[in-house]
């Protein structure tokens, strides 16, 4: 069985839904049921007796795009674990790019960041190259950057607070830096933080990192480690936007690509292309009256 939930433009649903359902039937994905959720009238739920999530998402893209969607193989339920990327997911910026602005290097470093997120560059090599370019920058620039340029993504606080209120464990895991991730996690309500550490000496960045690198493998390991504590059947949720988020997105029960790069979007069984992070709550079936506002 497949369960698909989507939030599409109301006009698109009114004018294109019948054609979309016919296309699914023709493609061998007949829809057994289609109905708006009782407490979330903007969310359409489709029930299919069989099929592949990837094929279903591709057809929904073709006929009802842009839409926010989630596809699962059984009943969609509230996760017990939420693991999320930080940059361009829980916050609206890439911290290293913004920090580079204080060194006059933002265009150069942002270009490397974009290629790494697209999966065109090795993540670790690209990270070391960018950090190396920041050598000599005063540590006080980090505090300035946090205060002046780093802002939560719309809906981030509400998403985290609502999931925690329902007993969900929340973990922020980033290929970025604890200098940023720790205050962001505190602001948003995450219970655990995993990331990289910038090396500082004499009040300046050295251009190096301290300890092991947190990369895509780290994100996957954290998801598996935390999920193992909850039992075999615990539902998990992962959100991210770039290539280094793919392993955890693929491993999660609900892997949601948030306004993501093409490779990450293709790997996910959930996609937020239109709305903010509260769309995740809607797709999970949590009505707005039950949200905990951050």
Mean of per-residue pLDDT scores for the chain: 96
User: If you average pLDDT over residues 24-28, what whole number do you get?
Assistant: 94
Please tell me the predicted confidence (pLDDT) of residue 41: 87
Query: Does residue 287 lie in a domain region?
Result: yes
Based on the domain organization, do 253 and 289 belong to the same domain? yes
What is the per-residue pLDDT across 218-252, written as a single tens digit (0 to 9) for each?
Answer: 999 999 999 999 988 899 999 999 999 999 999 99
User: If you average pLDDT over residues 61-68, what whole number do you get?
Assistant: 89
Based on the domain organization, do 83 and 12 belong to the same domain? no
What is the per-residue pLDDT across 109-131, written as a single tens digit (0 to 9) for each?
Answer: 999 999 999 999 999 999 999 99
pLDDT band at 14 (very low <50, low <70, confident <90, very high): confident
Check whether 294 has a pLDDT greater than 80.
no
3-state secondary structure of 134: coil
| CA gap 222, 32 in Å, rounded | 37
What is the domain count for the chain? 2
Closest among 183, 154, 145 to 92, alpha carbons compared: 154
CATH at 191: 3.40.50.1000
Active-site residue, 85 included: yes
Structure tokens at 24: 């699914």
Catalytic one among 68, 85, 97, 241? 85
Active-site residue, 290 included: no
Catalytic one among 18, 25, 68, 87? 87
Cα 247 to the chain's mean position, in Å?
12
Please tell me the predicted confidence (pLDDT) of residue 7: 95
Phi, psi of 73, deg, nearest 5: -90, -5
150 contacts 95 by C-beta, under 8 angstroms:
yes
User: If you average pLDDT over residues 254-267, what whole number do you get?
Assistant: 96
Beta-sheet strand order (sheet of 81-84): 33-37, 40-48, 2-8, 67-72, 270-272, 254-258, 236-240, 81-84, 169-177, 192-201, 204-210
End-to-end CA distance of the chain: 35
Instruction: Choose one of 18, 43, 76: the last residue of a domain.
Output: 76
| CA gap 224, 238 in Å, rounded | 11
Structure tokens at 11: 């006009």
Query: Does residue 134 lie in a domain region?
Result: no
292 contacts 268 by C-beta, under 8 angstroms:
no
Please give the share of the chain, as a percent, with pLDDT higher than 70: 100
Instruction: Choose one of 76, 108, 140: the last residue of a domain.
Output: 76
Query: Does residue 133 lie in a domain region?
Result: no
Based on the domain organization, do 280 and 173 belong to the same domain? yes
User: If you average pLDDT over residues 287-293, what whole number do you get?
Assistant: 95
DSSP symbol at 288: G
Based on the domain organization, do 246 and 161 belong to the same domain? yes
Based on the domain organization, do 51 and 89 belong to the same domain? no
Based on the domain organization, do 32 and 57 belong to the same domain? yes
Check whether 144 has a pLDDT greater than 80.
yes
What is the per-residue pLDDT across 173-208, written as a single tens digit (0 to 9) for each?
Answer: 999 999 999 999 999 999 999 999 999 999 999 999
Q: Which residue has the tokens 């909850």?
A: 230
Please give the share of the chain, as a percent, with pLDDT higher than 90: 93
What is the per-residue pLDDT across 69-81, written as a single tens digit (0 to 9) for each?
Answer: 999 999 999 999 9
Check whether 2 has a pLDDT greater than 80.
yes
On the 0-12 / 13-18 / 19+ scale of CB atoms within 10 A, 46 is buried
Please tell me the predicted confidence (pLDDT) of residue 232: 86
Q: Which residue has the tokens 């604890």?
A: 178
Check whether 147 has a pLDDT greater than 90.
yes
Query: Does residue 156 lie in a domain region?
Result: yes
pLDDT band at 82 (very low <50, low <70, confident <90, very high): very high
Based on the domain organization, do 63 and 158 belong to the same domain? no
Please tell me the predicted confidence (pLDDT) of residue 136: 97
Please tell me the predicted confidence (pLDDT) of residue 97: 97
Instruction: Choose one of 42, 76, 110: the last residue of a domain.
Output: 76
Cis amide leading into 96 (omega within 30): no
Structure tokens at 96: 């290293």
Range of the structural domain that residue 218 is part of: 77-93+151-294
CATH at 50: 3.30.70.260
Residue 262: how many CA atoms within 13 Å on its side-chain side? 4
């Amino acid at each position: 069985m497949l369960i698909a939930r989507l939030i599409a433009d109301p006009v698109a649903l009114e004018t294109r839904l019948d054609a979309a359902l016919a296309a699914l039937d023709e493609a061998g994905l007949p829809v057994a049921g289609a109905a708006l959720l009782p407490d979330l009238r903007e969310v359409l739920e489709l029930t299919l007796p069989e099929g592949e999530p990837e094929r279903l998402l591709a057809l929904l893209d073709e006929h009802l795009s842009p839409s926010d969607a989630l596809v699962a193989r059984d009943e969609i339920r509230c996760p017990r674990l939420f693991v999320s990327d930080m940059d361009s997911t829980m916050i609206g910026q890439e911290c290293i790019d913004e920090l580079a602005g204080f060194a006059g290097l933002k265009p150069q470093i942002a270009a490397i960041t974009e290629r790494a997120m697209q999966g065109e560059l090795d993540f670790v090599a690209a990270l070391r190259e960018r950090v190396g370019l920041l050598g000599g920058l005063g540590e006080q620039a980090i505090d300035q950057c946090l205060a002046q340029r780093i802002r939560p993504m719309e809906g981030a606080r509400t998403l985290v607070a609502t999931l925690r209120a329902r007993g969900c464990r929340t973990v922020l895991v980033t290929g970025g830096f604890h200098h940023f991730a720790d205050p962001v996690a505190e602001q948003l309500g995450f219970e655990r933080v995993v990331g990289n550490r910038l090396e500082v000496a004499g009040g300046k960045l050295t251009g190096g990192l301290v300890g092991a690198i947190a990369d895509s493998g780290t994100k996957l390991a954290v998801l598996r480690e935390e999920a193992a504590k909850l039992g075999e059947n615990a539902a998990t949720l992962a959100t991210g936007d770039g290539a280094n988020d793919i392993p955890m997105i693929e491993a999660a029960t609900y892997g949601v690509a948030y306004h993501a790069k093409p490779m990450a979007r293709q790997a996910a069984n959930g996609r937020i292309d239109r709305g903010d992070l509260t769309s995740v709550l809607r797709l999970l079936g949590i009505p707005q009256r039950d949200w905990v506002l951050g």
